[in-house]
Amino acid sequence: MIHLVTGAAGFIGSLLVERLLAGRRRVVGLDCFRDFYDPSLKRTNISASLRDPMFTMVESDLSGSFEQVLRDAIPQGEQVTVYHLAAQAGVRRSWGTRFGDYLRDNVVSTQKLLEWASSSGCVRRFVNASSSSVYGDSPLTPFSETRSLPVPVSPYGVTKLASELLVGLYASRDGIPSVSLRFFTVYGPRQRPDMAFHRFILAVLRGEPIEILGDGSQTRDFTFVSDVVEGLVRAGGSPACGVYNLAGGNGISLLEAVEEIEGAVGSRAELVFRPAQPGDARDTLADTTRLDHDLGWKPGVSLREGIRRETEWIRAAYCL
Ligand code: NAD
Ligand code: UGA
């Protein structure tokens, strides 16, 4: 069995690759090193895995011609489990002319990968990284896969919902067992530099002000990255199909999270308040009963411990 990870050099993808390799699985990683953030960070993310003989890295763009390179990387007759994490992430910048990037990487690329999965005949299972952003400001909380109507409030959320629907559609046409996991605001070592905790921890360590978008009372169900990776691995190895929430079970406000960051860093944050941004959901909170019931998954890392680990990583990564 080959485990194909798209978005393999990104924040979550690179940690999934390491986890699969630690289990002595054969892994093919695919990424095109988009410059949404500094691609050298992605090269660092994947550098240790490149030394593992069980790992093959393919530098290719899913919105282009990637089929031949995958044929070359995957020996004939091998069965494949796909973990599709490649995407254009970032909620607030998905308006305006940048929407084309989101369509290309989240919708067109997903459809092309699904066509490849179908025509290659080797894919036994398809695991898709979806997002809490599909729920938008859905009034029923905690968000439920079956009872909350997904109504995204950002163009990004629209593209992630489209990707989920495509995955379900191809699964019913081709019969490839497929699952979409809706991740809720993931944090931890390697977190993308545009995300709140990365920006906040770095600013507090440097003694610089942090920007709070809105009044800071918005809440997020923050999820530690190793819990996400655990959910992905379980989803890849189980017969579960359909849509699942994957969230940390924290559900705290941004200002409460800042207090935790102050505790981890050991100094006070200077707050600068800016207007709330269009596209930001007000509150996110997940019902994860389904994932627990079907996959025996529960979050394992507390917010305090997770922030401590991300702070340690940022100190080392920025030599602070
Ligand atoms: P990331 O930007 O660090 O990783 C995504 C990777 O995909 C990048 O390395 C990028 O170069 C690659 N990529 C993008 N388009 C590609 C294409 N067309 N072909 C090949 N590679 C391509 O982001 P992340 O935070 O690790 O997110 C991973 C996945 O999880 C995404 O699907 C994202 O939508 C989803 N997600 C993330 C979060 C979060 O809080 N980080 C929450 C919900 C869902
Ligand atoms: C995150 C990811 O960035 C998305 O890719 C993902 O799909 C989404 O989670 C999800 O759960 O689906 P977001 O919740 O906006 O999106 O995560 P952050 O960028 O960490 O922002 C969290 C909160 O902090 C937001 O309310 C945001 O407005 C706020 N924020 C962010 C600030 O106040 N200041 C900043 O500098 C950055």
Condensed to tens digits (0 to 9), the pLDDT of residues 266-303 reads 999 999 999 999 999 999 999 999 999 999 999 999 99
The total domain count for the chain is: 1
**Helix (H/G/I), strand (E/B), else coil: 80:** strand
Bridge partners of 179? 127, 242
Q: Tell me if 186 CB under 6 Å of ligand 1.
A: yes
- Examine the residue annotation and report whether 156 is marked as an active-site residue of this protein: yes
Type of residue found at 7:
G
Type of residue found at 218:
Q
pLDDT of residue 183: 98
CB 150 within 8 A of CB 261: no
Is 279 a domain residue?
Answer: no
Q: Choose the catalytic residue: 83, 102, 135, 156.
A: 156
Ligand closest to 281 (CA) is 2
Is 233 a domain residue?
Answer: yes
Is 218 a domain residue?
Answer: no
The domain of 289 spans: 2-186+224-249+285-300
Is 211 a domain residue?
Answer: no
Cα-to-centroid distance, 268 and ligand 1 (Å): 32
Is 165 a domain residue?
Answer: yes
Whether the pLDDT of residue 249 is over 90: the answer is no
Look up residue 75 and give its two tokens.
């020996």
Cα-to-centroid distance, 83 and ligand 2 (Å): 23
Residue 296: exposed, middle, or buried by beta-carbon count in 10 A (0-12, 13-18, 19+)? exposed
How many Å apart are CA 307 and CA 312, to the nearest integer? Answer: 9
> What is the average pLDDT across 159-174?
98
Q: Which helix (H) or strand (E) is 201 found in, with range?
A: helix 196-206
Question: What predicted TM-score, i.e. pTM, was given to this entire model?
Answer: 0.98
Tokens 């942090």 belong to residue:
210
Is 92 a domain residue?
Answer: yes
Nearest CA to ligand 1 atom 35: 129
Residue 33: exposed, middle, or buried by beta-carbon count in 10 A (0-12, 13-18, 19+)? middle
**Which atom of ligand 2 is the closest one to the Cα of 160?**
7
Look up residue 38 and give its two tokens.
């500094």
Tokens 């559900």 belong to residue:
251
For ligand 2, residues with CB inside 6 Å are: 89-91, 131-133, 183-185, 195-196, 199, 211-213, 218, 220, 254, 277, 280
Is 260 a domain residue?
Answer: no
How many Å apart are CA 198 and CA 196, to the nearest integer? Answer: 6
Ligand closest to 87 (CA) is 1
Is 274 a domain residue?
Answer: no
Ligand closest to 152 (CA) is 2
Name the DSSP class of 97.
Answer: G
Q: Tell me if 135 CB under 6 Å of ligand 1.
A: no
- pLDDT digit string, tens, across residues 129-140: 999 999 999 999
Residues with Cβ < 8 Å from 272, sequence gap 6 or more? 209, 210, 211, 212
Q: What CATH number has the domain bearing residue 10? A: 3.40.50.720
